[in-house]
Structure 1
Amino acid sequence: MTRVLIHPVKRSDAQEIVTANVRSRDYHARWAQPFTDMSGFDAWFGQLLTGPNASFIARDVESNGIVGVFNLTQIVWGEFRSAYLGYYGNVAFAHRGLMADALERVKNYAFNEFGLHRIEANIQPGNVASINLVRRAGFLKEGYSPHYLQINGKWCDHERWALVSGDDRGV
């Protein structure tokens, strides 16, 4: 049974995403800072339109509520065919396995529709829920990057997790 559907982000999703992000602000505080106003949405959406990026909304089939947002960024085509994966969930749908279902759909889209070869996710070591999410999806830990990304004004270490199309070692 399909519990989650994904679709590319549309401008008409803006207010609903902003509302979900505001409600989930404390839930994400240690790990990410999604935008919480329309100007933040506009800046983020503008990057989608001008850069090699793709973002998806995951929706609960039953309620049509936003489960989460998935971003494929810095997409490189040619011989590399790779992207970085970022995501965050809506606290209203937390701990139901819906983000895992959504990630499966995003993976399928990335590999089958875009033709990507590799997806990489960088996750802070203390973010156990996120690590469990990618591990469950078959990602393998490839390494550790000290002071990799600035979160809340502090340079934070990250683990590097990746999935290669057709690679089932992590499953």
Structure 2
Amino acid sequence: MSVDLAVGTRVVVRRVRADDEARFVALAKESAAFHRPWVVLPTSPELFAAYLARFDQVAAVGMVICLRDGGDLVGTVNINGIVRGCYQRGMIGYAAFLPHAGRGYVAEGVGLAVGYAFEELGLHRVEADIQPGNSASVRLVQRLGFRREGFSPAFIKIGGVWRDHERWARTADHVY
């Protein structure tokens, strides 16, 4: 059993764990077309094991967003590339699972994860890289107080293609 990292009105955020594999992989398969081209999630036990291995709780924290009622997985949120020292920053990534997309669950969960990053991990800055055209993701980070800071061509390789990204960020001490 895993301890919840953050509890919201409708969702909880907890660390992703090995016993999430079957449901996570099934939802990732069901949601693959919905995610394309924004994100690629693990759709096999082998890919899930590699995904899980990335989260060392130092440089990367992997979480799932679950319904408070029933506990079903509604999405995933990760804080990757955590840098300490004078930076105290991390990169947030997230995705909704069908059939739960479009109901605000992931927005609530990402908000909880950002709070966790600031309050529990002690980060000063959380960044989000978003592909142009992903208007749902832009609206999500805007609602959470992120601001657009720039544009990076051919920034991140997703699905074998180097993709442009807008750079968004929020700091712990800044009210937007």
- Shorter chain as denominator, the TM-score bin is over 0.9
1:118 corresponds to which letter in structure 2?
A: R
Q: Tell me the SS of whatever aligns to 2:54.
A: helix
Deviations 1:80-135 (A, max 9, x none): 11001111110211111111111111011100000000011100011011111111
Residues of 1 paired with 2:45 and 2:58: CA distance?
20
Choose the corresponding residue for 1:158, options 148, 165, 175: 165
Q: Once structures 1 and 2 are overlaid, which stretch shifts more, 3-12 or 43-52? A: 43-52
1:15 paired to 2:22: yes
Between Structure 1 and Structure 2, how many residues are aligned?
169
After TM superposition, the structure 1 = structure 2 runs for residues 9-88 of structure 1, keeping only pairs within 5 Å, are 9-49=16-56, 52-88=59-95
2:124 alignment partner in structure 1: 117
Among 91, 115, 128, which residue is 2:98 paired with? 91
2:5 paired residue number: none
* Maintained 8 Å contact 2:94/2:110: no
Name which of structure 1's ranges 34-43 and 48-57 shifts more when overlaid on structure 2: 48-57
Whether the 8 Å contact between 1:145 and 1:160 is mirrored in structure 2 is yes
- The equivalent of 1:135 in structure 2 is 142
Q: CA deviation at 1:144?
A: 0.3
SS of 2:55's equivalent? helix
- TM-score (norm: length of structure 1): 0.94
Q: TM-score scaled by structure 2?
A: 0.92
Give every structure 1 segment of 4 or more consecutive aligned residues whose post-TM-superposition deviation is greater than 4 Å: none
Question: For the Cα contact (< 8 Å) 1:51–1:74, is it kept in 2?
Answer: no
- Output the aligned Cα RMSD: 1.4
CA contact 1:8–1:56 (8 Å) conserved in 2:
yes
Cα distance, 1:11 vs structure 2: 1.2
AA matched with 2:16: V
Secondary structure at 1:145's aligned position in 2? strand
3-state SS of the aligned residue for 1:6?
strand
Q: Would you say 1:6 and 2:17 are equivalent positions?
A: no
Q: Structure 2: how far apart are the matches of 1:90 and 1:137? A: 20
